[in-house]
Amino acid sequence: MFKFILNRLLQAIPVLLIIIAMTFFMVKAAPGGPFSQERKVSPQIIEKMNEHYGLNDPAIVQFYHYVVNCLQGDLGYSYKYEGRTVNEMIGESFPVSLKLGGISLLFALCVGVPAGVLGAVKKNTFWDYSSMSVALIGICLPTFVVGPLASLIFGLWLGWFNVSGWFVPSDCVLPAITLGLAYAAYIARLTRSGMLDILSQDYIRTARSKGVKESTIVWKHALKGGLLPVVSFMGPALAGLIAGSFVIETIYQIPGLGRHFVNAALNRDYTMVMGTVLVYAVLIIVANLLVDIVQVVLNPRLKYE
């Protein structure tokens, strides 16, 4: 396992360098600059600001300095929030996004796994068709449609939850459900397909012929193997829940990392864009590594390759 983890971490280094390089030169190629939208500022002052932040240097020189600073753990200062470093802003906002993503993932698992198991056990029945139909609706409806509808119904009409902010524990309910609904649908379909494959195996038929209770067969013998497709999906799902939360954070006015990313892109805050992309990339790599380890634990036939 140690060699496997070390190998994957070494492979991640060139991947991160490629991601950093692509993001860096793409934001540089975008029209305008971080100070082009400043009002009533003379060209001389803008020139001094560009000189102060090193924006007058060639792009390759700026890239070299950025990579060196990243290796030292320094993501630089924000161009739009004077006196604040990207490290500080990420340190404040990332826990919010992580909490939102974790709660959304828990909701997706609690809804998707039972729905998938029910669809597999009650194959080709009303319960199977209804659960998979709801899952298909969850996949088709995007979050920017579900979010405003949930706010309108449960926030404005019924008054059960706040429609914006992140102040009390109940403020995470609507964003978590909105964000986790589509992933719950994917998990339900993956669980159903995995369970159907396991329930057709010989050892399941043998257990049934010995008179083992159906509930024991499903929850003790079949579920472990049936969840392997779901475990494979967990890495991209966790990264997607956190990285894709910028839409939800914008809708519900949540002070998370996704909202900083949106504002940084609009304001051409190069260092903030680079910092958030780097955090998301590291998160995806770590999530996929953890998923690979869990897969081997659940299925001993796999090897650390």
Residue 30 has pLDDT above 70, yes or no: yes
Show the tokens assigned to 236: 């991209």
Domain boundaries, the chain: 93-270
pTM of the shown model? 0.79
**Mean of the pLDDT values across residues 219-237?**
78
Residue 230 has pLDDT above 60, yes or no: yes
Share of the chain above pLDDT 70, in %: 92
Show the tokens assigned to 301: 């036939």
Give, in words, the CATH class of 93-270: mainly alpha
